[in-house]
């Protein structure tokens, strides 16, 4: 899929802006704090219905009542128009081809691959950041995964509420929620494992392409449920229930659910060593790049559509070899890419595409 046209009204530093980007490469440059990342955020918002920064309301230009983005996306099946608006009182309007229906209807909900310096946290950060990557960046490609996640989160929320109110010695009180909890948890766990089974080989291949031969890369999903080998949902439910039973007192004491996919993690090993603990900066960067490349390939394979790539400030952070990889293997290949950087225009001058300069007010093609 690709963005044919985008119009911004009262969005961050932009009063009004209209851009028809290049079908392949768009390089966005300008001094710091001029609106490069803001523009990528507008593209992401139009495609996914939310900001990639903290709070959707912050997208509204200071002093205004709303921020609006209108976009036209081209997909293999035809053109989709999106009108997305955030209001200062907290309301949000999303119209896809003129009709409501929320984020689910958006064409880019899953088809925008964003890569920014913060993404190093997928490796270095807490387990929740890795789970968010699985749930939000990979899982959402599959409608069934999305449904399983929603159901699980709902029952987890209710179970945690109950844990907060029951007395410590009231073992048995949790029975009401347990059956559903184990079932939904097992379904989610099984789907995650299936997803990662498809994803991991793509990461290995991409890592090999980036780092060259030499290092052996492995990935493992760490489940809080001890699985007894057989990966069928009924068996996982039993394993889950056994683990839950064993830790019931701990849960009553801590007043929270400690077993389940919401506490799981994934680890990456290079030559047998945990990257999070022993990886060099360069290895971590290569690995994150490999995750993003794999995400991109997986989206294409699962949907038949190419994702739109947003690369915010990452190019200059990479050494020459990884820049080469990015320029030759990630940028191009029939995908539409938006690259921001304050420097490095010389890398793009001879490429087919458009170069934009942002100055704090607008964005013009140079
Ligand atoms: N809601 C808002 N309304 C108006 N201006 C805003 C709003 N939010 C942010 N800005 C302005 O946008 C600027 C940041 O823009 P942006 O993050 O796009 O910079 P950038 O060009 O990506 O810079 P860098 O090269 O440092 O990453 C802020 O310094 C601020 O002046
Ligand atoms: Mg920026």
Taking alpha carbons only, the member of 85, 32, 15, 18 closest to residue 57 is 85
**Residue ranges around ligand 1 (CB below 6 Å):** 12-13, 30, 32-38, 58, 60-62, 313, 342
Number of structural domains (the chain) is: 1
Domain assignment present for 29: no
Domain assignment of residue 250, given as a range: 112-304
Which tokens in the block code for residue 17?
A: 């802006």
Rounded CA Rg of the chain:
22
User: What pLDDT, in 10s, does the model give residues 45-64?
Assistant: 999 888 999 899 999 999 99
Domain assignment present for 64: no
Domain assignment present for 169: yes
Least confident among 93-102, 301-310, 316-325, 354-363: 316-325
Taking alpha carbons only, the member of 334, 299, 293, 298 closest to residue 311 is 293
Domain assignment present for 311: no
Give the pTM.
0.91
Q: Is the dihedral of CA 162, 163, 167, 170 positive or negative?
A: positive
User: What pLDDT, in 10s, does the model give residues 9-35?
Assistant: 999 999 999 999 999 999 999 999 999
Tell whether the model's pLDDT for residue 103 goes beyond 80: no
Domain assignment present for 87: no
Tell whether the model's pLDDT for residue 340 goes beyond 90: yes
- Give me ligand 2 centre to Cα 361, in Å: 15
What is the rounded CA–CA span in Å between residue 289 and residue 185? Answer: 30
Domain assignment present for 214: yes
Tell whether the model's pLDDT for residue 139 goes beyond 90: no
- The three-class DSSP label of residue 312 is strand
- The three-class DSSP label of residue 6 is strand
pLDDT interval class at 109 (50, 70, 90): low
Cβ within 8 Å of residue 64, ≥6 positions away: 10, 88
Residues with a beta carbon under 5 angstroms from ion ligand 2: 36-37
Domain assignment present for 354: no
Q: What is the mean pLDDT of the chain?
A: 91
Residue 244: its pLDDT value, please?
A: 93
Cβ within 8 Å of residue 276, ≥6 positions away: 123, 124, 267, 268
- Give me ligand 2 centre to Cα 343, in Å: 12
User: What pLDDT, in 10s, does the model give residues 270-299?
Assistant: 999 999 999 998 899 899 999 999 999 999
- Give me ligand 1 centre to Cα 13, in Å: 6
Average pLDDT over residues 121-147: 91
What is the rounded CA–CA span in Å between residue 356 and residue 341? Answer: 11
Helix/strand/coil percentages in the chain, nearest 5: 45, 25, 30
Domain assignment present for 221: yes
CATH number of the domain that 286 lies in? 1.20.1050.90
């Amino acid at each position: 899929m690709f963005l044919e046209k985008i119009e911004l009204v009262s969005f961050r530093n932009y009063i009004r802006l209209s851009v028809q980007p290049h079908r392949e490469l768009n390089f966005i440059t300008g001094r710091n704090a001029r609106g490069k990342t803001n523009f990528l955020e507008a593209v992401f918002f139009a495609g996914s219905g939310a900001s990639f920064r903290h709070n959707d309301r912050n997208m509204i230009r200071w002093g205004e009542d709303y921020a609006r983005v209108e976009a036209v996306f081209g997909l293999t099946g035809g053109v989709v128009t999106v009108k997305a608006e955030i209001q200062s009182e907290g309301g949000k309007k999303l119209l896809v081809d003129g009709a409501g229906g929320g984020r689910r209807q958006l064409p880019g909900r899953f088809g925008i691959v964003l890569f920014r310096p913060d993404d190093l946290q997928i490796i270095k950060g807490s387990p929740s950041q890795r789970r968010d990557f699985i749930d939000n960046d990979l899982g959402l490609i599959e409608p069934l995964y999305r449904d399983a996640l929603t159901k699980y989160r709902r029952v987890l929320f209710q179970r945690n509420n109950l844990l907060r109110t029951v007395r410590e010695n009231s073992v048995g009180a949790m029975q009401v929620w347990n059956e559903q909890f184990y079932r939904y948890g097992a379904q989610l766990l099984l789907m995650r494992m299936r997803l990662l089974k498809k994803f991991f080989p793509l990461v290995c291949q991409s890592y090999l392409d980036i780092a060259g031969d030499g290092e052996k890369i492995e990935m493992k999903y760490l489940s809080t449920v001890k699985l007894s080998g057989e990966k069928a949902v009924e068996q996982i439910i039993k394993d889950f229930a056994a683990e839950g039973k064993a830790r019931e007192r701990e849960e009553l004491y801590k007043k929270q659910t400690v077993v389940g996919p919401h506490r799981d993690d994934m680890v990456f090993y290079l030559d047998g060593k945990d990257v999070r603990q022993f990886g060099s900066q360069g290895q971590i960067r290569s690995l994150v790049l490999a995750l993003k490349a794999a995400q991109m390939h997986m989206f294409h394979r699962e949907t038949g559509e190419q994702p739109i790539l947003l690369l915010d400030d990452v190019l200059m952070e990479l050494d020459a070899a990884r820049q080469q990889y990015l320029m030759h293997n990630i940028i191009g290949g029939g995908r539409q890419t938006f690259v921001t950087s304050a420097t490095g225009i010389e890398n793009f001058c001879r490429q087919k595409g458009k170069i934009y300069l942002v100055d704090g007010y607008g964005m013009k093609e140079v």
